[in-house]
């Protein structure tokens, strides 16, 4: 957690409403940090359905493996999140830590370990002392309250400079349902069917299979379209919980993601995911500029995505943006190396709506002063036209600054 808040942080932080069936509490367990909260417990009412997507890393953390196993049951009663230690690359010790943590949480809340979901974030390779949860989780279970969403988001931060929360309220049938979400992430961000750590809660009565389908579809153009540094974490976890409490107010029970009654809900659900994903991009380690990359005219959406990510993950492109230099040559480089269909002589490039390259060469109307002024803005859009087809996609990233190197150069110190 940095004391210096990102200049790209949202100016308005929403107040998340209470959500029936969800109670939260935080504590300082001394996992790694001193004088700050580092453990979050979320107690969920019986009958809460759960869905999740996780990192595709071949070296996943112990909590990721624990959650994957428990997801098969489809129900959840407790979520425990700690910051400061990722419990990743910790071997048998890591697996024992997850078992002990879940056992303590289950005892504290009166549920089965199979209904406990875990997430850890922080340093990789250091054993997690799960005995530090003894007593702490019991107290949290007793004191958990319906409010405190911002405190919860703060407790799961590591190098984040601000807590990330989002909310939407929408009608399902004749009843009002709420969707609340929180996320953490600032570095080691290049999700692949996963989202750093993010947790979504709703009181809508959705089955686990329905929620899973919505989640899998929802991350494709939100969290999976964000990259900070091209590095996919060992711990990426996105869990969604549906308490079903709105059923008593008349919300219909939904078992299929294709149910037409879900149209408005899906739009709101995806909006929460998109909001949180953008906040992660805004909090990229050392970031000073939010960068939106749009690629159109590709042979397919998938091809456009690969090219957009090639641009977004290029250190040369990102450092040029940090230096406020509209260096389209680096964009051309990133397009060319992506391994996707591209025609140099059809390529066009624009920075913040100002076209700098056209038909494979510098635009005849190029004005250095105009472009330089545009590059001083805190939000930069790079638009690339390939002129080959109808494929289009969008990716969010940030610039690469000296502070990113400083943060990651002594992360374990």
The answer to whether the Cα torsion of 282, 40, 268, 270 is positive or negative is: positive
What does DSSP assign to residue 340? S
Q: Half-sphere exposure of 250 toward its Cβ, with a 13 Å CA cutoff?
A: 6
Torsion (CA) 191, 277, 156, 50 in degrees, nearest 10: -80
Distances (CA, A) of 6 to 162, 274, 285: 7, 19, 8
Tokens encoding 329? 């040559």
Tokens encoding 49? 């359905």
408 assigned binding-site residue: yes
- 55, 178, 195, 243: which one is catalytic? 195
Is residue 195 flagged as an active site residue?
yes
Helix (H) or strand (E) holding 266: helix 263-282
324 assigned binding-site residue: no
158 assigned binding-site residue: yes
Show the beta-strand stretches assigned E in 258-363. 290-298, 348-351, 354-358, 361-362
Helices (H) and strands (E) in the chain, counts: 11, 15
Tokens encoding 62? 């112990």
195 assigned binding-site residue: yes
Could you list the active site residues?
195
Q: Binding site for substrate, residues? A: 158, 184, 195, 285, 408, 413
Q: Binding site, residues? A: 158, 184, 195, 285, 408, 413
């Amino acid at each position: 957690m940095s004391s210096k808040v990102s200049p790209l942080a949202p100016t308005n932080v929403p107040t998340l409403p209470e959500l029936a069936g969800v109670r939260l509490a935080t504590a300082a367990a001394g996992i790694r940090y001193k004088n700050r909260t580092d453990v979050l417990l979320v107690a969920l009412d019986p009958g809460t359905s759960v869905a999740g997507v996780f990192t595709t890393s071949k070296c996943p953390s112990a909590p990721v493996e624990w959650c994957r196993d428990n997801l098969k049951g489809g129900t959840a009663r407790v979520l425990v999140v700690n910051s400061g230690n990722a419990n990743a690359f910790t071997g048998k010790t890591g697996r024992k830590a997850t078992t002990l943590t879940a056992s303590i949480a289950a005892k504290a809340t009166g549920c089965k370990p199979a209904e406990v979901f875990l997430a850890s974030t922080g340093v990789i390779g250091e054993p997690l002392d799960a005995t530090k949860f003894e007593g702490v989780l019991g107290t949290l279970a007793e004191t958990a309250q319906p409010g405190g969403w911002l405190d919860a988001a703060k407790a799961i931060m590591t190098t984040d400079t601000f807590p990330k929360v989002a909310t939407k309220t929408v009608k399902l049938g004749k009843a009002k349902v709420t969707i609340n979400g929180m996320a953490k992430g600032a570095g080691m961000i290049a999700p692949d069917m996963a989202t750093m750590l993010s947790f979504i809660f709703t009181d809508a009565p959705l089955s686990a299979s329905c929620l899973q389908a919505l989640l899998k579809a929802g991350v494709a153009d939100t969290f999976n379209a964000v990259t900070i540094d091209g590095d996919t974490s060992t711990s990426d976890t996105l869990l969604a919980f549906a308490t079903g409490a709105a059923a008593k107010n008349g919300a219909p029970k939904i078992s299929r993601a294709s149910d037409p009654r879900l149209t408005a809900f899906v739009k709101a659900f995806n909006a929460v995911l998109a909001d949180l994903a953008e906040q992660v991009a805004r909090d990229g380690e050392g970031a000073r500029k939010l960068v939106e990359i749009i690629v159109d005219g590709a042979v397919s959406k998938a091809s456009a995505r690969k090219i957009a990510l090639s641009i977004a993950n290029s250190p040369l492109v990102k450092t040029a943006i940090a230096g406020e230099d509209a260096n389209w040559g680096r964009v051309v480089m990133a397009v060319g190396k992506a391994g996707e269909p591209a025609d140099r002589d059809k390529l066009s490039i624009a920075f913040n709506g100002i076209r700098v390259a056209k038909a494979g060469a510098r635009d005849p109307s190029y004005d250095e002063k105009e472009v330089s002024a545009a590059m001083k803005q805190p939000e930069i859009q790079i638009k690339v036209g390939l002129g080959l087809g109808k494929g289009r996609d969008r990716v969010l990233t940030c610039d690469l600054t000296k502070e990113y190197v400083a943060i990651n150069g002594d992360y374990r110190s």
